[in-house]
Structure 1
Amino acid sequence: MPAARVPEVSLTRVFSPVSIGSLLLPHRIVMGSMHLNREDDAGSLAAFYRERAAGGAALIVTGGAAVNRTGAGGPNYLLINEPEAAAVLAPVLDAVHEAGGRLALQLFHAGRYAFESTYGLRPAAPSQVFSGFSRTMPADMTGPQIEDTLADFSAGAARARELGFDAVEIMGSEGYLINQFASPLTNLRRDRWGGDPVRRQAFPLAVLQSVRSAVGSTFPVIFRTSGADFVEGSSSIGESADLAVELARAGADALNIGIGWHESTVPSVQAMVPHGHWMGIAGGIRAALAAGDVPVPVIGSNRINSLPLAEQALAAGHADLVSMARPFLADPDIVAKSRRGDARLVNTCIACNEACIDRSLGADPVSCLVNPRAGRENYFPLLRRRELRNSAAVAVVGAGPAGMQAAATLADAGHRVDLYEEADGIGGQFRLAGQVPGKADFLQTIRYFGNELPRLGVRIRCGTAPTAPVLAGYAHVLLATGVRPRPVPLPRTGNIPVLDYRRAFADAELLGNRVVVIGAGGIGVDLARLLVEYAGTGPRRVTILRRGARIGAGIGPSTRWAVLQELREAGVRTMAHTVPLELRSGGLLVRDEAGSRTVLPADAVVLAAGQVPHNPLQGHLEAAGAPFTVIGGARDASGLNAVRAFEQGLAAATDLIRSLARTPAASGVETPGFKRSRTPLP
C-alpha cells in the first residue's frame, strides 16, 4: 500500500502578515487553546509551549484559565485570579517570548459544564437546565453572582496583561458559560440577562466590556464565539451570527469561531469529519461582519490539519486566520517545516482524540498518539546525535507504531538503526486503519515515518524476517513484532468461510453480502465501517457481536458515540451479550443473554475478537545471550492500543540510549512498561 502524499500548494496567504488589533502577526496560523491537564507543572508547560513557539506558531492560546473556582472545568484548571497562577505562568511566558512567540491567555468559565466534585461548589449557570456532560443540575445565578463573575473576568484580564501576555481570548463557545447565556436552551431567564435574542446577548457583551475596561483600548482581545451549537433548541446560526456582529461592534479585535457543544450529536472534531468541513460556518460569520461594516478578523478552526488545507480555507474567504490545536501536538514544527517546503516531514494529526481530547475530558495529562513526547518534552528531551559520544548498531524488529517510534528516537540520537519488517511496507496495523472510511489520515503517519526514518539514516528492510544469529550481532535488539488475531475455536458443520480480520481487511469487497463479525471492539467496529462502505455487488448486511456488554469498547469517549451513531445509520446490526457457538451451513449459531439460540445468516464470518502477542524471536535471543527489549503488542496484547505502542517505542528507545551512554534517566520519567532481557548491556 503506497503511503499518503502531501499536496504541493503555494502558501502565499498563510504566510502573509495580519493584525489582531495592535498585535501584528507574521502569518495566519494560530495555535488554538488546549487544556493539557499539566497546569500544575510549570516546567512541563513551559517546555511544551517553548517548542511550539520555536516551531513557528504565530500566536499561541493557552488552555482555559478559570476566572473563579466555580467556573473551573476540573481539578487541573489554572485559576488566573489566585496567587499560585503567577508561579506557573511566569516561566511559560518567558519560554514563549525567548523563542520569539506570542502568548494569549484564554479566560474561561465552564458554567453548567463544571463538576461539583472539583471544589465542592455547585456549578452555576444562567438557569437550572440539567447538563448531560457533567451530569449535574446547576444553580441559576443571581444578579449579584453575575456581577461578581463579570468582575472575575475583568480581574483575570488585568492579571493577564500585568503578567506579560500579548493578548487574551474570552471563551464564549462550545457550550460553556457565556455560550449558555446566549442560548435559548440554557437561558430561561426573564430579566435583563435573558428572555429574547437581544437580551441573551447581554452577558457576552458585558463580559467583553468588563475585559476591555480592564486591559484598555489597545490591548488585543479575541472573543471565541459559537458559530453553530448543533444542539436542538439552541441558538440558530443566524442568532449566532447576530451575536458575532454585536461583539465586533463592541470592541472585539478578532472573533474565533467555535463549533458544537459537548452535548451535540453532530460530530465536529472526529476523524470522520471531512477536512475543513465546518469552515463555511466561519465564512458565514465573516460575511455577516462585512455586511455589518465591522470586518474584524475571523479565526476559523476544526479539522484543518495541514497548512495546505489552511491555505484553501483562506483562499475560499472562510477566515482571516486558521486555528490549529491538535496538529501542534502531533508536530510542534508544523509551521517551520511547511514554510521551508518540508511538508512531507510533518507528523500529521490523525484526529484520533485518544491521547488529547479524551484525556482532557478527565484528569490524565494530555499528549499525542503519534507524538508521545507532546507534553513530556522535559522527560523525553531530544537527544541529538551531536551529544552522542559512541554510536551503536541497534536492530528494531517490527515496523508498526512501537517499532517506527523506537527506530526514529534511536536514530535521531545518532545510533545506527536497522528496522526489519516482514511485510512489504512499514506501518503495521495503521495500514489497516487507513482503509477505514474517515481514517485515511492514518496513512499520513506512515507517510511521515516513511520519509523521516530514511532522513535520520534508518535502514528499512521490508520483506525481511531476521534470524537470531543475525540479530546477535547488534549491540541491542528491540522486539516490536506486534500481535496476531486471537483465534476463536468454533465447531463447524457448514462450509462458510472464516477469516481473521487481517484477511477481511485485504478482501473486504469479496466477502459476500452477509457478514458476521465476531468481536465488537475497535477493530471489529472499524471493519464493519469498511464492509458497509465496500458492499460489493449489492447491499451488505453486517452484524457485529461480542460476549460483553459494550459495543466499541476501547474506543475513546469523544469518538465512540459518533462511530456507533454512524453504524446505526448504515444499518449495521450490533449484538452485545452474544456468544458464538457453531458454524452451520446457513450461518453462525449464537446464544443471547437470555439463553435463546438463533442462526445469523452469513456468507462469511470474520474473527476480530482480540489479539495475542506475536514474539517468535525472544526465546532464540535468550538462548543466544543477545541483549533485547520487548515492547508493544509483542510483550502484552491485553488492552493494546496505538497510544501505548507509540509511548513504549519512545520510552524503550530513550531508556536504551541512556543505558548505552550510561547516563541516568530524567527525574519523573513517565515510562510505560516494557520487558528487558536479563542480558546486560555492553
Structure 2
Amino acid sequence: MLDRVFSPVSLGPLHLDHRIIMGSMHLNREDEPLALAAFYAERAAAGAGLIVTGGAAVNRAGAGGPNYLLINEPEAAARVSPMLSAVHDAGGRLALQLFHAGRYAREGTYGLRPAAPSEVYSGFSRTLPRALTPKQIEDTLADFAAGAAAARALGFDAVEIMGSEGYLINQFASPLTNLRQDRWGGDPQRRQAFPLAVLQAVRDAVGPGYPVIYRTSGADFVAGSSSRGESAALAVALAREGADAVNIGIGWHESRVPSVQGMVPHGRWMAIAGEIRAALAAAGVPVPVIAGNRINSLEHAERALAGGHADLVSMARPFLADPEIVAKTRRGESNLVNTCIACNEACIDRSLGTEPVSCLVNPRAGRETEFPLPLQPPRRPVSTPARVAVVGAGPAGMQAAATLALAGHPVDLYEQDSYIGGQFRLAGKVPGKADFLQTIRYFTHELARLGVRVLTGAAPEAAQLAGYSHLVLATGVRPRTVRLPGTGLLPVLDYRQAFADPAPLGRRVVIVGAGGIAVDLARLLADPGVAGGPRDVTILRRGARIGQGIGPSTRWAVLQDIRAAGVRTLAGTTPLDVTPLGLRVRNLDGTTALLPADAVVLAAGQVPYNPLRFQRDARGMPGTVIGGALDASGLNAVRAFEQGLAAGTAVARHLARQKPEDGPRLKSSRAPLP
C-alpha cells in the first residue's frame, strides 16, 4: 500500500493529490519549444501532478550554458507558452525554476565573466569569477523578482528558487565561496542575507497568494563549506520568511562525495532532509519538506515518507526513464515501470554540456515528437501485420522488439542464452549497479504485455528465419582477443567468463584493459562479498586514461571507489607475456615488470558478433543490423537502446507502407532504414 504517497498535500495555496513531484532537470532543449511541450505533457497526462522546469536563468551572466531559458528576455514567452498549454491541457501543474549559476557559469556562453559573492576559483567551470558589487547584487535581486513576476504572468503555477547544488545562492550561504565582510557576508547570519533577500524579492513580485518553493542545500559535502547546522538554520529562516516549501538539495558539483550515482544506496540522503524537517517543526514553522536523490520508485518514496524524512518526494530522472511511473504504480503495475538505473549517461552527463538530454533506458525521452506513441498509422490498410524476427535480446534487441510490437507487428525475439538482457546481466552483478537488473525485469514484463514471443536458448539459422518479412539482427559483441605468449601457464579468461564465475580466479587477478567493463569487473572482484573475495586486483591499459568511456559524472566516483578498495590502476602499461608467476608488462619508461597473478582476465575491447550476416546476405533476406553487431567501436548502452528505438520505428514504418505481398522484396540494410 502506498497510502502516504497517494495522500493529498498543499504547498501554500497549491493543492496536490499526491506527494510525488517531478523535479527540475535541465534538458538542453530550450530551443525546441514543441519538443519540450510534448515531453512535459506526456508526463503530466500520466500523473506527474507538479512538474518543475529546468533552470530558467534570471540573466545572461547566470545561464549555465547556451541552452538555458532566459526568463527575462523577450523570446521567453514564445518558448514557454507551448509547454504551459500542453501541461495544463493534460491536467498538470508547472513550476518555473529561477536559476543563477554564479561561479558555475562559463564565460564562453555569452562572453560574460561569471559572477559570484567573491573571487574564488571554480574547479567545475574552471573559472575565476568576478565578485559582485553591492549595486550588482541589487540588480541580481531585481532580476530574480522580474523572473518571478514573468512566471506568474505567463501562467506558471508556482516558482522554485534554485539555492542549492553550489549555484549562486548557495555560494552566498557558504564560507568557502563567500569571503565578503559587508552586509552580504562575514558570519553565518550575514551569509543568510542574500538567500533571504532573493526570497523577499520574489515574494514581493508574486504576492502572498502564489506558491514559492525554495530549493536549499541540506549538505554541501565540500570541505570548508557550510555545516549541516548552518544549512538547517537557513532552511528555518527561509520558512519563517515565507517559503511555502523547502526542497532539500544534496552536494555540489565540486564535491567528491557521490550523491546521484548508482553506487549511492536508495534513499541514502533522506535523513538529512529529515533533520531539517525536525528543525522546522522545533522552530514552529513546519512548512512541507521536499526531498530526493536516489529515490527511483514510489515504493522507496513511501518508505521515506513513512520514516518522517519528508512531506513530498522529488523524482527527476525516474520520470525520464518512465513518464508513466506514477500512473503505472497507482494501477498496481510496478512491474511495468521502466526504472531509472542512475547511470547518468544520457541525462546528467549531457546536461552538463550542450547535447540534448534523454535517457539510456528510454531513448524516447525528450524525443516524443520524433517518436510519437502510437506510431504513425499505415498509409494503406494492412489486414495482416508483417511478422518480424529480432535476433539477440540485449539492450538493442529488447528495445527494437518492444518498439515493433508497440507498432502492431507480431514479433519473435530470439536469444541464444537462457535469459534476456545481454551484457546488462553482467552489469547487474557489479556492486552499485543492481538497478541494471530492473531494466531486464521491465522488458521481461513489457515484452509479454506487448505479445512478443521470446525464444531463449535459440540461435536460429537463416533457413529458419526465411518466412519473416524483416530481420533485425542485434546479436551483440564478443570480447576482443588479445594474444599473449605463455597463455596456458596461468588461467587466461575473457571478461564474460570472469563475470560468469569469479570463484576459480584465485586471490590475485590482473585485468588487461581499463575501460568501463574492466573497471566494473575490478569492482566486482574486489568486493568482499563475492566468492573468493576480496581479491588483489590490478587493471592496466596501454593508454593514459583509466575508465575511458565512463561518463564524467560517474567516472571519478567509480575510480575513487575501486582505489579505496585497493585496486591498482596502471596506465601506459603494455602486456607482454604470461609466466607461471603472473603477467610480464612493459611500463611507459620502457622498463619491464612482473605483475603477480593467479589469473589474467582479458577486457581489452569488443568486436561485432553477427553469425547470420553472410547467410542473410546470400539469401537476400530483408534485414537491419544494429547495436554491437553493426559496430563495436565506442559501443555503449546509450547507443544500443537508441538504435533499437530508431530501427524498430523505421522498420515498422517501412513495413506499414508495403502491401503484404511486397514484404519479401524489402531493401536489405545494415543500418536503420530511412
The TM-score, its normalising length taken from structure 2, stands at 0.97
Counterpart amino acid of 1:647?
E
1:676 maps onto 2:672 in alignment: no
1:560 maps onto 2:555 in alignment: yes
Deviation at 1:384, TM superposition (A): 5.1
Question: Quick one: distance in 2 between partners of 1:540 and 1:373?
Answer: 41
Counterpart amino acid of 1:115?
R
1:101 counterpart (88, 92, 108): 92
Confirm or deny: 8 A CA contact 1:421 1:462 kept in the other structure. Answer: yes
Counterpart amino acid of 1:368?
C
1:484 maps onto 2:490 in alignment: no
Query: Which residues of 2 match residues 503-514 of structure 1 at below 5 A?
Result: 503-514=497-508
Deviation at 1:386, TM superposition (A): 7.6
Question: Quick one: distance in 2 between partners of 1:394 and 1:654?
Answer: 12
Question: Residue 670 of structure 1 aligns with which residue?
Answer: none
Query: Which residues of 2 match residues 25-40 of structure 1 at below 5 A?
Result: 25-40=16-31
Question: Quick one: distance in 2 between partners of 1:497 and 1:112?
Answer: 52
Query: Which residues of 2 match residues 214-233 of structure 1 at below 5 A?
Result: 214-233=205-224
Question: Quick one: distance in 2 between partners of 1:536 and 1:488?
Answer: 26
Instruction: Write the deviation string for residues 120-143 of structure 1: whole angstroms up to 9, x where unpaired.
Output: 000000000000100000000000
1:402 maps onto 2:360 in alignment: no
Question: Quick one: distance in 2 between partners of 1:142 and 1:573?
Answer: 49
Confirm or deny: 8 A CA contact 1:550 1:576 kept in the other structure. Answer: yes
Question: Quick one: distance in 2 between partners of 1:680 and 1:161?
Answer: 46
Question: Residue 619 of structure 1 aligns with which residue?
Answer: 614
Query: Which residues of 2 match residues 454-493 of structure 1 at below 5 A?
Result: 454-492=448-486
Question: Residue 628 of structure 2 aligns with which residue?
Answer: 633
Question: Residue 166 of structure 1 aligns with which residue?
Answer: 157
Query: Which residues of 2 match residues 510-589 of structure 1 at below 5 A?
Result: 510-533=504-527, 534=529, 536-537=531-532, 539-589=534-584
Instruction: Write the deviation string for residues 593-613 of structure 1: whole angstroms up to 9, x where unpaired.
Output: 000101100000000000000
Deviation at 1:662, TM superposition (A): 2.3
Deviation at 1:351, TM superposition (A): 0.1
2:597 counterpart (592, 595, 602): 602
Instruction: Write the deviation string for residues 203-254 of structure 1: whole angstroms up to 9, x where unpaired.
Output: 0000000000000001000000000000000000000000000000000000
1:326 maps onto 2:317 in alignment: yes
Shift in alpha-carbon separation, 1:590–1:541, aligned structure 2, 3 A: same
Counterpart amino acid of 1:523?
I
Question: Quick one: distance in 2 between partners of 1:584 and 1:270?
Answer: 39
Question: Quick one: distance in 2 between partners of 1:202 and 1:400?
Answer: 54
3-state SS in 1 of match to 2:539: strand
Query: Which residues of 2 match residues 198-597 of structure 1 at below 5 A?
Result: 198-383=189-374, 389-390=381-382, 391-492=385-486, 495-533=489-527, 534=529, 536-537=531-532, 539-597=534-592
Deviation at 1:55, TM superposition (A): 1.1
Counterpart amino acid of 1:467?
E
Confirm or deny: 8 A CA contact 2:643 2:672 kept in the other structure. Answer: no
Deviation at 1:329, TM superposition (A): 0.1
Question: Residue 661 of structure 2 aligns with which residue?
Answer: none
Shift in alpha-carbon separation, 1:215–1:611, aligned structure 2, 3 A: same
Return 621-630 or 148-157, whichever deviates more: 621-630
Question: Quick one: distance in 1 between partners of 2:458 and 2:597?
Answer: 37
Instruction: Write the deviation string for residues 308-352 of structure 1: whole angstroms up to 9, x where unpaired.
Output: 000000000000000000000000000000000000000000000
Confirm or deny: 8 A CA contact 1:513 1:535 kept in the other structure. Answer: no
Question: Residue 639 of structure 2 aligns with which residue?
Answer: 644
Deviation at 1:94, TM superposition (A): 0.2
Confirm or deny: 8 A CA contact 1:330 1:371 kept in the other structure. Answer: yes
Question: Quick one: distance in 1 between partners of 2:162 and 2:114?
Answer: 17
Confirm or deny: 8 A CA contact 2:508 2:537 kept in the other structure. Answer: yes
Show structure 2 runs of 5+ residues with no match.
Answer: 659-666
Deviation at 1:680, TM superposition (A): 11
Counterpart amino acid of 2:51?
I
Query: Alignment identity in percent?
Result: 75
Question: Quick one: distance in 1 between partners of 2:491 and 2:532?
Answer: 18
Question: Quick one: distance in 1 between partners of 2:462 and 2:310?
Answer: 57
Question: Residue 33 of structure 2 aligns with which residue?
Answer: 42
Confirm or deny: 8 A CA contact 2:525 2:533 kept in the other structure. Answer: no
Confirm or deny: 8 A CA contact 1:622 1:677 kept in the other structure. Answer: no
Question: Quick one: distance in 2 between partners of 1:430 and 1:487?
Answer: 21
3-state SS in 2 of match to 1:656: helix
Deviation at 1:677, TM superposition (A): 5.1
Instruction: Write the deviation string for residues 335-372 of structure 1: whole angstroms up to 9, x where unpaired.
Output: 00000000000000000000000000000000000000
Confirm or deny: 8 A CA contact 2:650 2:672 kept in the other structure. Answer: no
Confirm or deny: 8 A CA contact 1:394 1:417 kept in the other structure. Answer: yes
Shift in alpha-carbon separation, 1:37–1:677, aligned structure 2, 3 A: closer
Question: Quick one: distance in 1 between partners of 2:105 and 2:471?
Answer: 48
Counterpart amino acid of 1:630?
V
Deviation at 1:493, TM superposition (A): 6.7
Question: Residue 5 of structure 1 aligns with which residue?
Answer: none
Question: Quick one: distance in 1 between partners of 2:428 and 2:98?
Answer: 38
Question: Quick one: distance in 1 between partners of 2:122 and 2:672?
Answer: 56
Deviation at 1:38, TM superposition (A): 0.3
Counterpart amino acid of 2:306?
A
Counterpart amino acid of 2:139?
D
Shift in alpha-carbon separation, 1:678–1:590, aligned structure 2, 3 A: closer
For the aligned residue pairs, the C-alpha RMSD in angstroms reads: 1.5
Counterpart amino acid of 1:637?
A
3-state SS in 2 of match to 1:359: helix
The aligned length equals: 662
Question: Quick one: distance in 2 between partners of 1:238 and 1:675?
Answer: 65
Counterpart amino acid of 1:515?
V
3-state SS in 2 of match to 1:676: coil
Counterpart amino acid of 1:615?
N
3-state SS in 2 of match to 1:211: helix
Confirm or deny: 8 A CA contact 1:525 1:544 kept in the other structure. Answer: yes
Question: Quick one: distance in 2 between partners of 1:295 and 1:624?
Answer: 72
Confirm or deny: 8 A CA contact 2:378 2:653 kept in the other structure. Answer: no
Shift in alpha-carbon separation, 1:552–1:153, aligned structure 2, 3 A: same
Counterpart amino acid of 2:95?
A
Counterpart amino acid of 1:428?
G
3-state SS in 2 of match to 1:92: helix
Deviation at 1:535, TM superposition (A): 5.4
Question: Quick one: distance in 1 between partners of 2:646 and 2:532?
Answer: 47
Question: Quick one: distance in 2 between partners of 1:645 and 1:514?
Answer: 34
Question: Quick one: distance in 1 between partners of 2:487 and 2:526?
Answer: 28
Deviation at 1:509, TM superposition (A): 2.6
Confirm or deny: 8 A CA contact 1:627 1:679 kept in the other structure. Answer: no
Question: Residue 662 of structure 2 aligns with which residue?
Answer: none
Question: Residue 89 of structure 1 aligns with which residue?
Answer: 80
Question: Quick one: distance in 1 between partners of 2:547 and 2:643?
Answer: 24
